[in-house]
Amino acid sequence: MRLDRWVLLSGLILACAGCAGGGSGLRPTTAADNRAKGAEVHTQLGQRYMEQGDLKGAMEKLQKALQFDPKYVPANTVIAVLYERINDPANAELYYRKAAELDPKSGAVNNNFAVFLCKQHRGGEAKPYFDKALADPFYETPDLALANAGTCQMQSNDYDAAEGYFRKALDRNANNADALYQMAHVLYLKNDAFRARAFLQRFEALGNPSPDALKLGHDIELRLGNGEGAQDYAKRLRQQFPDSEPAHAIEATARQ
């Protein structure tokens, strides 16, 4: 499952927020402008530090952003992601929920909270937030939320509902890699290996090999009775991802 990524304004764009009149026609900076600018800049820095692996620095910047403006939605969302990364789900939920309360119609905000709830195996609580995400007419990546909702349904073994979400995701974006892989997976679980193969081939055509996808390809070919094809997937898995769990699983099976 994937979160929507926040794209924050650069400091260069923000620089003119402090420009004053002086014949330029721009209004003077207000205290509210300064708070908004501070929240935005520190959120951007926090996100950048987190991407670089400086989690302590990221936390300091994000807490500073919230001091400037506790209601700044991106700051609440990014600090929620950070708390999730440092294995503090209680605080992660606190800030994901706050962001959803502050911007209850946002597709991205609701998708992110739903993904968090699903990771906590709370799919029933996640569904209303996926629904809110999909109801946002300005949401730019509904296929992302649809694929996430399908993956969430798979946790409760509701394969028919999951397949429905994945099909809707692919109707929106035929090259959604997550939806293609998960569609192959759910069809395999439903004992429809032939159609599973077709969706996995579409996934592979995107050039995004993964250990799980290669293991799934191996299992699909075995179910179809294609031993040579299964061995080809096993070989690729050992060569490309020798230390992965799927590679170890195949090796363990081969030794039995």
Query: Which pLDDT does position 10 carry in this prediction?
Result: 33
Predicted TM-score of the model (pTM): 0.85
Query: Which pLDDT does position 207 carry in this prediction?
Result: 93
In angstroms, the CA 139 to CA 2 distance is 15
Query: Which pLDDT does position 4 carry in this prediction?
Result: 74
Query: Which pLDDT does position 5 carry in this prediction?
Result: 63
Q: How far is CA 85 from each of CA 51, 80, 82, 139, rounded to the nearest angstrom?
A: 11, 9, 5, 25
In angstroms, the CA 115 to CA 84 distance is 11
Cite the DSSP H helix spans in the chain: 11-14, 31-51, 55-68, 73-85, 89-102, 107-119, 123-135, 142-155, 159-172, 177-189, 193-205, 211-223, 227-240, 245-255
In angstroms, the CA 254 to CA 227 distance is 13
Per-residue pLDDT of the chain (256 residues; tens, 9 = 90+): 777 765 443 332 233 334 334 344 566 678 888 888 999 999 999 999 999 999 999 999 999 999 999 999 999 999 999 999 999 999 999 999 999 999 999 999 999 999 999 999 999 999 999 999 999 999 999 999 999 999 999 998 999 999 999 999 999 999 999 999 999 999 999 999 999 999 999 999 999 889 999 999 999 999 999 999 999 999 999 999 999 999 999 888 777 6
In angstroms, the CA 240 to CA 37 distance is 46
Query: Which pLDDT does position 252 carry in this prediction?
Result: 81
Query: Which pLDDT does position 253 carry in this prediction?
Result: 76
Query: Which pLDDT does position 210 carry in this prediction?
Result: 95
Token reading at 35: 């708070």
Query: Which pLDDT does position 17 carry in this prediction?
Result: 36
